[in-house]
Structures are given as C-alpha cells and as structure tokens.
Amino acid sequence: MPFTAAIAVPHPPIILPEIGKGEEQKIAATAAAYRQAMEFLARDKPDTVVILSPHSILYADYFHISPGAAAHGDMSRFRAPQVSFDVAYDTDLVASLSAVCKERGIAAGTLGERDPSLDHGTMVPLYFLRQVLPEAKIVRIGLSRLSPFEHYEFGRALRQSADLSKQRVALIASGDLSHKLLAEGPYGFAPEGPEYDEAIMRTLGAGDFLGVLRLSPQLCESAAECGQGSFMIMAGVFDRQAVVCQALSHEGTFGVGYGVVTCEGKGEDAGRNFGEQLKALEAREAQERRAREDEYVRLARLSVETYVRTGQGAALPSELSAELTSRRAGAFVSLKKHGQLRGCIGTIVATTPNVASEILQNGISACSRDPRFPPVTPQELDALVYSVDVLGEHEPTTVEGLDVKRYGVIVESGGKRGLLLPDLDGVDTVEQQIDIARQKAGIPPGAPLSLFRFEVIKHT
C-alpha cells in the first residue's frame, strides 16, 4: 500500500520534559505542532513508520537501513536514562526496500552496521509517536552525502517498496534546520542560517519539492542544517503525486531552527516528476557552464575525462595560448560535485615545462590520487565542476601580512610543509587558514612555524 502520510519534524532532546526540565516551555509551539503532526500521521493507522534520521549511521556513498528484528535506545547521553525505547523493525519492508534498491542500482542496504542502538534523531520523534501509535513497527534509515537526485531516487524506491507492501506505511523525516540562527546560540550566527530556514519552510510548506532539491549546497553547508537529506528523500516518496503540505510551526529560540510540516498525497500528478526535472536542469546548466569555461578549465576537464575514461593521460592540444605553453608555475586543480569537494591536488612550484602540462598532471592527480576520496568514476563526470588556481611566487610573511581572501598560505616546520589556497568557503580568519594548513602538513600544535604567502589567479 502507498504511504498514508509524511511529516517533517525536528529532534531537539530539550523538547522532552524529562530532559528540558522546564526549558521545553520555551519551544511550546514546536511541541504543540509536533503533537498535531503525529495525530495527522496516525489518522490512517499505519502499520509501519519509516524514520529518516541524520544521526543514524551515515556513509558518504550509501544509505544505511538498520538491520535486525528489533532495537533499543535511551536518553542516557542527555542525562535521562529513564527515557528509553524498544522498537520492532519491519523486516519485510526492509528486505523489500533493499531488493528494490539493488534492482535500481541505488547504493543502499543493511551492510555496515556500527551501532545498533537508537539515535536521538530517531528517539525524539518516537517519544511523540508512541503517544498515538504505540504498536507501529519501525524502519530506521540513515542519510548519505550523495546528490539531491540520489536522495530523491532513494525516496522513489521507498515509495515502490511501500506500494508492494500489504501494510499501511507512513514517513517521518527527522531533521533540525539551521544551527546558526543566533549569535548567542551554541553554534553562533551566520546570515545563511535564517536564509536557509526561510527557504526550506517556504518550499517544503508549499510542496515545492523541486525547490527543496535545488537549494544551494553552499547555503545548506553554511547554515549548518542537518535535515536536508531527510526532506529530499521525502520529496522522492511523493514522486508524481499531487501533495497537500502544511507548515505548522517554526521556532529558533535556542539558535537552532525547528520546523514542523505535514504532507499528504492526493492522487497521481505526472507533472510532479521532480527527479527528471532536476536532471534536465542540471544538464542544461552543465552545458552552459562548459560554454563559459576558459582554456585553463577546459584543459583540466580534458585531463580528468581522458584519464577516467581511458586510464591514459591526455595529449596537449595543439592550439593553446602562449600564457599556458611558455610560462612555468605551480597549479591546483579542484573538482566539486553537487557543491561538495570531490578532489583537489596541486603543486606549490612548477614541476613540468609549462602551466599547461602542470594542469594535465594535476588533473589526473585530483581525480584519482586525492587520499580523501575514491577515484572519480565515468558516471560522475557530467556532474563535476572544475576550477584551476595558478600560483604566483611565494614570499616569507607574518600572521599580520596574511589575508584569507587575497593570499594563500604555506606553513613549514621540521621539514613538513602544508598549503591552503585563498578565498575558501568556511575559512574566515587567518588563524583558521594557518591551522588547517598546519593540520594538512601533520605539524603538531604549538610547533614553531615559518609562514609564506602567495597570490593565485583562479579560473572557473
């Protein structure tokens, strides 16, 4: 049977009286909306409730579905061990979902269980759920670092599995919004915080799932949200369905956004095929982006695409400017996928006869030798966004002589050397810049440092 209803809810432990000890009254509107959402969820008496939790096991490239027949958890971490939960898992739905994902080529399943105990992203919704549906079985699913489209496709697989089931199934998309709404909050303030909360409450509350999928990854990261993946999966559950959504409440009392939204399917609507619409938009944007690329970026793309497809290095094109063929300099090639770094390797000083060869060499390294990432696959090539930084000469400097927007930094100590490029997202102070470069070099805290600065010419 299809999903009967879906809700998006936050998971602040403080909302539970046993933990809040009176502080929960400051978010009473959220608690009231929570109860209303749960009554909405329970209206059709679902047999199984799927809970999507950002705090369950998270893998970069895999959706983890909790295995086994049952699980236990309690709020000991929040000094309330008396608040505990024992749940029975719907093993049939888990098996069906795993099979559907395998058939569709979606990276999901029950492998890789590290901690079977329930997480607070699951238990806070359970606290309210048990008040209206004490006997419902549970399916617990973690998020991933995969793309918005892949989250949507996983939601479609979840919908298919529910359709094949003889049980009534409902969905809880657990997730707080921005963690950066107030300067006095535990995570501080960022202007992207309120911007994200306004955008997600507007799009989700209106059932504008394409808008949800299209929220900028940079905005999501800067806002420090934790529920976006849950919301994107929920969007996929309602693929090609008319939906009525209602935003019940939004609060940011403690500097973290708490939003409550209900969604109900209202029959088929072929025009709401947002996964296909997203892919079409991304293809058009990729084509437009390629048309804007300069010869530096085109060369990086040539290097990566040739190596990933053939395992061989690309030959230098015959028509390149003298700027690329007669100058020597260090260069970095950076790859991003859906707003997230996918590889970045470079050279501090020239190691080849010219900048063009430097880019070809470092393009191969960025896509296949960055130890932080697996090698790029052919299926990823269309989603990659490239940038090339050509380094100027580096010169000795002091902390006072640095500027994170203008200068990159090189730190040296005891034969170890680390580099960080300028003007990077999330690096706002010189102290951050130096510390990250130090960590990259493996230099211990407190070690004496020699500092060098350099400027770059960035090509995107």
Q: Both 355 and 427 in a single domain?
A: no
Q: Is residue 284 part of a domain?
A: no
Report whether 329 contacts 358 (CB < 8 A): yes
- Concatenate the DSSP letters of all residues of 376-420 into one string: PPGGGGGGEEEEEEEE---EEE-GGG--TTT-EEEEEETTEEEEE
For CA atoms 312, 318, 319, 324, the dihedral sign is positive
Q: Is residue 375 part of a domain?
A: yes
pLDDT, mean over the chain: 95
pTM: 0.86
Q: Is residue 232 part of a domain?
A: yes
* Nearest C-alpha neighbor of 296 from the set 225, 346, 224: 346
Check pLDDT > 80 for residue 139.
yes
- Concatenate the DSSP letters of all residues of 43-59 into one string: TT--SEEEEEETTS--B
The C-alpha atoms of residue 140 and residue 425 are separated, in whole angstroms, by: 33
* Nearest C-alpha neighbor of 262 from the set 249, 281, 277: 249
Q: Both 239 and 301 in a single domain?
A: no
Check pLDDT > 90 for residue 136.
yes
Q: Both 378 and 421 in a single domain?
A: no
Q: Give the model's pLDDT for residue 2.
A: 67
* Nearest C-alpha neighbor of 222 from the set 425, 458, 435, 429: 425
The C-alpha atoms of residue 354 and residue 53 are separated, in whole angstroms, by: 50
Domain boundary residue, one of 277, 307, 332 = 277
Q: Both 78 and 135 in a single domain?
A: yes
Give mean pLDDT, residues 53-58. 96
Least trusted range by pLDDT, from 40-44, 87-91, 282-286, 323-327? 282-286
> Residue 326 carries which DSSP code?
S
Q: Both 385 and 404 in a single domain?
A: no
* Nearest C-alpha neighbor of 300 from the set 393, 289, 148: 289
Check pLDDT > 70 for residue 129.
yes
CA angle 452, 455, 460 (to 5 degrees): 140
Percentage of the chain with pLDDT > 90?
91
The C-alpha atoms of residue 460 and residue 448 are separated, in whole angstroms, by: 35
Q: Is residue 288 part of a domain?
A: no
In the block, residue with structure tokens 């940079």: 218
CATH assignment at residue 356: 3.30.700.20
CATH assignment at residue 456: 3.30.1490.150
In the structure encoding, which two tokens stand for residue 76, read together? 């000991």
Query: Other C-beta atoms within 10 Å of 101: how many?
Result: 21
Give mean pLDDT, residues 119-138. 97
Q: Both 333 and 398 in a single domain?
A: no
Tell me the per-residue pLDDT of 5-16, one tens digit each, with 9 for 90 and over. Answer: 999 999 999 999
Domain boundary residue, one of 330, 357, 391 = 391
Report whether 43 contacts 133 (CB < 8 A): no
Domain boundary residue, one of 391, 417, 432 = 391
How are the residues of the chain apportioned to helix, strand and coil, as percentages rounded to the nearest 5? Answer: 40, 25, 35
Task: State the virtual CA torsion across 151, 156, 160, 162 in degrees, nearest 10.
Answer: 60
- Concatenate the DSSP letters of all residues of 152-208 into one string: HHHHHHHHHHHHHSSS-EEEEEE----S-B-TTSTT-B-THHHHHHHHHHHHHHTT-
Q: Both 198 and 158 in a single domain?
A: yes
Q: Both 85 and 216 in a single domain?
A: yes
Give mean pLDDT, residues 79-103. 97
Query: What's the domain range around 429?
Result: 392-460
Strand partners, 264: 244
Report whether 50 contacts 57 (CB < 8 A): no
Q: How many domains does the chain have?
A: 3
Q: Both 360 and 237 in a single domain?
A: no
